[in-house]
Structure 1
Amino acid sequence: MTEAAAIARARGPITQARLAVDFRRIGLEPGMTVLVHTAMSRIGWICGGARSVIEALLQVVGPEGTIVMPAQSSDLSDPAGWCDPPVPQTWWDTIRASMPAFDPRTTSTRGVGTVAETFRTWPGTLRSLHPQVSFTARGPRAADILSSQPLEDPFGVVSPLAVLNQCGAYVLMIGTGWETCTALHLAERLSDPHGPTFEDGTALLVDEERRWVRFRMPQTNVERFPAIGAKLDGQAMLQHGHVGAAPSRLFPVAQAVDTAVEIWSLPSPL
């Protein structure tokens, strides 16, 4: 949505104060640890843009709370697997040879929105070390949440998502669909720990030298997330509301993961 379109649709500007009120109404509280997904364009015309969203989140959870966001950089992957858009096969070797190595300080996000990218550079924000599917966090629990994210199993039992699952964290989805719910990737790993994988690659610094590194990643399937979301939407633990004009949800990571694991672990019908 263009800025002009957002202005035309809006009844008035969305301020930081209004965002804070909406976050409290949906159930966000001081001291919470919360994984946030945001479609900023759905909120409306925000005075201050992404900065106001982040400042309102930090204001509501307070100094004892921890904000977490996805910081995916899917462009740091093997070009042979690119499809949105693909590149000619004749380019692949050049891309592999010249792709900048992942740097948690400077590698930008891709496909996770303006709020997540702004949060990546926010003072005090930390980042996990996975080159493709890292997370960022700010707050007292940030270092523990981001401490370990294995290259070949970034969503499994040793990962930021696993820590969020164990520490009573919540997910806040602001105007986003269930296909964006990163927490459900943990449920995929728990329900099928030996599931299919695929070969990938990226540029990494190894002993201070840039190298092209090949590895295997778990196959994910976000197409089945909306069906889980439909079940979760009717549960009492999930709170619905609006942030600006954006339909939003707040729910505990652990209960969402448990529900998905229970369903996905059932035997397939013959």
Structure 2
Amino acid sequence: MSEKERAVIARTHEAFGTCLTAEKLKEDFNKLGILPGMNLLVHCSLSKIGWICGGSVTLIQVLLDLLGPEGTLIMPSHTSDNSNPKYWQNPPVPSEWFDTIRQSMPMYQSDRTPTLYMGKLAETFRKWPGVLRSEHPQHSMIAFGKNAKLIIDKHIDSCSEQSPLARLYDLNDNGYVLLLGVEYENNTSLHLSEYRFQTNNNIEKTFISGASIENPETKKRQWIEWNDYDYDSNDFNDIGRAFDYIEGNTTIGSVGLAKARLMKQYLLIDFATDWMNKNRMKKNTS
């Protein structure tokens, strides 16, 4: 048992006197406002919730039970290691490795490629029976439920108009984001706002991205490159604080030990795009 897990057990015992169960999680999610039929994009730090009996499997099953057959559960399943090594920073690799990595990186396969830095919950959900995964080699998303195919289908752009983020936005009042033990800097939906801000203001902050994919004709791996938008999450927490400040935007509560935020995604996207128009433009013109 790791020291991190020991600490999680100690915090959970101190707060509740026992471990967290499915019944306790359901009670907390009900108070927060998770309802049947929601299309729910979840970003989660599992350890922040506390020690759950059954861990990630229990949490996923609870969410699916609450959303019901008319709902859809969605998570990011990004694979940032399948990218141009020139831009790697955490950690960087020697430049002499770049060509070898581009020539050798295994191709993205939606049914095999593991997530990276997405957390245990997303990796467990990726392997859940019936889950669908989009085909973007870096910014894929996974979904289960009524609108799963609608949301992940034809994922051409990383985080812009041909992405699951935009399809969730199209669902308007029935598209939600749940931040569970994480802050707005982890809120992927804000990248859609960035894209709209940049295109609306003719800002061309792009870079050459790359990934290893399966050639649709030969079925063999190939390295492809494309111009992608240069996303920047440095002000996402500022945006989130401003969004939370407006009454009715965010429902804030607790799930286990974790702070939880539930919001309608389209309201967040519209607010953030407007915020960037006002605040990022000041930086660009100063």
TM range (shorter): over 0.9
1:54 aligned to 54, 57, 60, which one? 60
What residue in structure 2 maps to residue 131 of structure 1?
Answer: 137
User: 2:72, 2:148 within 8 Å by CA — same for their partners in 1?
Assistant: yes
Deviation at 1:92, TM superposition (A): 1.7
Equivalent position amino acid for 1:198 in 2: F
Q: Which has the higher helix share?
A: 2
What residue in structure 2 maps to residue 8 of structure 1?
Answer: 10
CA distance in 2, matches of 1:188, 1:209: 34
CA distance in 2, matches of 1:217, 1:46: 39
User: 1:128, 1:134 within 8 Å by CA — same for their partners in 2?
Assistant: yes
Give deviations 1:66-102, integer Å, cap 9, x for gaps.
0000000000011111110111122222211111000
Alignment of structure 1 residues 76-225 onto 2, 5 Å: 76-150=82-156, 153-168=157-172, 169-193=175-199, 194=202, 195-206=204-215, 207=217, 208-225=219-236
Deviation >2 Å, runs of 4+: none
CA distance in 1, matches of 2:5, 2:275: 41
CA distance in 2, matches of 1:212, 1:156: 22
Structure 1, unaligned stretches of length 5 or more? Answer: none
What residue in structure 1 maps to residue 264 of structure 2?
Answer: 252
CA distance in 2, matches of 1:201, 1:159: 17
Deviation at 1:149, TM superposition (A): 1.7
Give the aligned length. Answer: 268
Deviation at 1:22, TM superposition (A): 1.0
Give deviations 1:209-237, integer Å, cap 9, x for gaps.
21111112110110110111011112212
Query: Partner of 1:157: helix, strand, or coil?
Result: coil
User: 1:31, 1:63 within 8 Å by CA — same for their partners in 2?
Assistant: yes
CA distance in 2, matches of 1:8, 1:260: 38
User: 1:20, 1:59 within 8 Å by CA — same for their partners in 2?
Assistant: no
Query: Partner of 1:263: helix, strand, or coil?
Result: helix
Deviation at 1:139, TM superposition (A): 0.4
Deviation at 1:158, TM superposition (A): 2.0
Structure 2, unaligned stretches of length 5 or more? Answer: none
CA distance in 2, matches of 1:173, 1:94: 38
Give deviations 1:136-161, integer Å, cap 9, x for gaps.
000010000111221xx321122211
Equivalent position amino acid for 2:59 in 1: V
Equivalent position amino acid for 1:24 in 2: N
Query: Partner of 1:112: helix, strand, or coil?
Result: coil
Deviation at 1:30, TM superposition (A): 0.5
Q: Is residue 252 of structure 2 the alignment partner of residue 243 of structure 1?
A: no
User: 2:84, 2:209 within 8 Å by CA — same for their partners in 1?
Assistant: yes
CA distance in 2, matches of 1:200, 1:220: 12
CA distance in 1, matches of 2:240, 2:81: 28
CA distance in 1, matches of 2:197, 2:27: 37
Q: Please, what is the CA RMSD of the aligned residues? A: 1.2
What residue in structure 2 maps to residue 228 of structure 1?
Answer: 239
Identity value in percent: 40
Deviation at 1:2, TM superposition (A): 1.5
**TM-score of the two chains, using structure 2 as the length reference:** 0.91
CA distance in 2, matches of 1:159, 1:3: 36
Query: Partner of 1:211: helix, strand, or coil?
Result: strand
Equivalent position amino acid for 1:209 in 2: K
